[in-house]
Structure 1
Amino acid sequence: MNDRWIEVADRVWVRRLEELDQSLGLVVGDESCLVLDTGVSADAGFAYATAIRELTDLPWQVAYTHDHFDHWFGTAAFGESAVWAVADGAHYVRFGDEQRRKWAAKYRLDGREQDARRIAASRLVPPNCRVQGAVGLDLGGRTVVLRQVGPAHSDNDMVVEVPDAGVLFAGDLLEQGAPPSYDSAFPIEWPQAVEYLLSWKPRIVVPGHGEPGDYWWARSQARDLAEVARLCAEVAQGFLTEDEAAEHGPFPPGTMRTAIARWKELTPPPPEPAPQPEPARTLPPPVVVYDFFDYSVDLTGN
């Protein structure tokens, strides 16, 4: 699959990438545009920025759906601009450095030396605009809503709603064509977050990876996420074993085991039973000793 544009609504595009089957976003207003996520490296970001300039020459702002490397390592290509995210810049820099080392090493082990160098050389651009709750962003004749969600797929998820077009950019809260990633997720809270997002019934839902879908596709995946949460609860109750939950879940066994392991990591162990006080020691009842007297009773009255 070559990188390509899909226009899902009026002046709302999805950039489908071959790398990681990723879906980036672009929303264009009359005065500016919003770029949703920027790709896996600075080189990928430059290619994306060039493709955007084929559609519009308006000034841009950038939004990060969350802090995983494939969604923001390409931002250096966009120069000086507002960058919106839920987590703060210090978190992005710290976590970004960890991810850069990890993924460069992984690509080298996979024999992808050039990709490893691209990630290692990417300049990290932390966000400079914080989203807490919801922010309405005026692009000129069109307002988009940046909404904090979760915890769900991560502890700093953000989605972008385009109400006038009926489009929801869901980030990695939803994925098409591959199971969702539970490595740093919150399995119990995740389905609740998605249900909340779908309450306004968007017409088009764009996942972080895979092809855009409709509302009913998103509803189906929300049910699968809820089933994972239910199976985790049944494992906790001892009704199912971990093997049973993994084999009979809505996603492949490997994904299910990751979800269960993550749930166990987040669930504190049951408290140790409080020590029971020793029963109070009671003294035995006193022993009453009666003196024995030999009485001779004269019944004659003498």
Structure 2
Amino acid sequence: MASSLESGWAVGINTYAYIWRMSARETLVHLADRGYRRFELLVNAPHLWPESLDRAERRAVAALLEERGLTIDVLNPPSLDLNLVSPSLQMREMTRAHYRRVIELASDWQVANVLIVPGKTHPLLPAPAERVWGWFSEAVEELDRYAEDKGVRIILENVPMAFLPRAADLMAALDRLGIDRLGLCYDVANAVFAGEAPERGLRMVAPRLSVLHLSDTGREKWDHAAIGTGVVPFAAVAEAMREAAIRVPTMLEIISPDGDRDIAQSHQVLAGLGWEAPPSV
């Protein structure tokens, strides 16, 4: 599914909508049968969990990727049970250990990127900023070294509940870390819910952007709904992509009990704004 300026931006699928119904391998087969070739796998038990993935299943997924000509661009562990800036040393160590297992899996499957959510602080009385930064920077530096050894890149995402919720926060963090290999995933729904105009944020992160997440949301309820059902200004996002000449994998991160329907609806809307047309199956 290579894209060009003439054919439109490529569209891949984040598997979030399928985590309770199918394993990662079953989801890849299902979506490949619907014509998709690029993916972001959500690392969520029982859908996909490296610590409980046996060798046979690892080999089966690798064989499937080769046989069907599929690419996994990102492994994405959600932040529900993970926190790199927890005040608990044990929680931070558990989180880092899990990320190392995800990095190893990415290396096995030749996945370019492992997504990391910066971490969450206490919403009412957060730890002192320098202490949070110390926990974060120590973890990212360690994980980046491990990822480099495995041929994988770490990318950080803007998440409203994390301690680096906006584009400027992430760019400042990258400058402070000084690690050129680190990339960014920019999520337009997360940006809107965090009070940021996504077209402005996208222009800001463009020099370090590795992956783009697309879904819709309102301002009162955080969502990753079908495109066209919320307030995300997708036409402005498309214009910002043209102006900044952005050519990175676009992942439809639709969280829905009817993923097939809402992904198809969302892709159709995107096709009218400059993304590639939905597959014909």
TM-score (norm 2): 0.31
Q: Which has the higher contact order (CA 8 A, sep 6+)?
A: 2
Tell which structure's C-alpha radius of gyration is larger.
1
The structure with the largest helix share of the pair is 2
TM-score (norm 1): 0.30
